[in-house]
Amino acid sequence: MRRLGLHIIIGIFGLWLAIGIPGVNFEGEISSLALAGFVLGVINFAIKPILDILTFPLKIITLGLFSLFLNIAIIWTVDVLILGRIFSLFSLFLATIVIGILNIALIKRN
């Protein structure tokens, strides 16, 4: 349960940090940002491990690069479903890097 909470906090904080990236706009209420972070945290906790197992052969072939594309797809899905504010692929890539660094710093360390 603690790990799920960490994923949710990282999702919310990561999206909040990503707002500072050029091309990522957020003009709504903070509750919709919190909802998007919550959904991102739940996806990273529950669905991403399954996707990691299913895409393991692709990760081996690409030497782990496919993980980045998987993370981009997850953040893009949350953006399309809830936020709709990331306008370019480069901005999406930078937002993925920010959230990935937070995941490495807080989740992988425990």
H, E, C per residue of 25-67: CCCCCHHHHHHHHHHHHHHHHHHHHHHHHHCHHHHHHCCCCHH
Mean pLDDT of the chain, nearest integer: 87
Residues of the chain with pLDDT under 50: none
Q: Cα–chain-centroid distance for residue 20?
A: 15
The whole-number pLDDT of residue 68 equals 92
Q: For 42-56, what is each residue's pLDDT tens digit?
A: 999 999 999 999 999
Mention every residue, 6+ apart, whose C-beta is less than 8 A from residue 65.
Answer: 59
The whole-number pLDDT of residue 47 equals 93
Q: For 14-29, what is each residue's pLDDT tens digit?
A: 888 888 888 777 777 8
Note the pTM of the prediction, 2 decimals.
Answer: 0.85
The whole-number pLDDT of residue 70 equals 94
The whole-number pLDDT of residue 53 equals 95
Give CA–CA dist 46/60, Å, rounded: 22
Minimal CA–CA distance to 55: which of 42, 46, 64, 43?
Answer: 64
The whole-number pLDDT of residue 43 equals 93
The whole-number pLDDT of residue 28 equals 75
The whole-number pLDDT of residue 110 equals 60
Give, in degrees to the nearest 5, the angle at Cα 41 between 51 and 70.
30
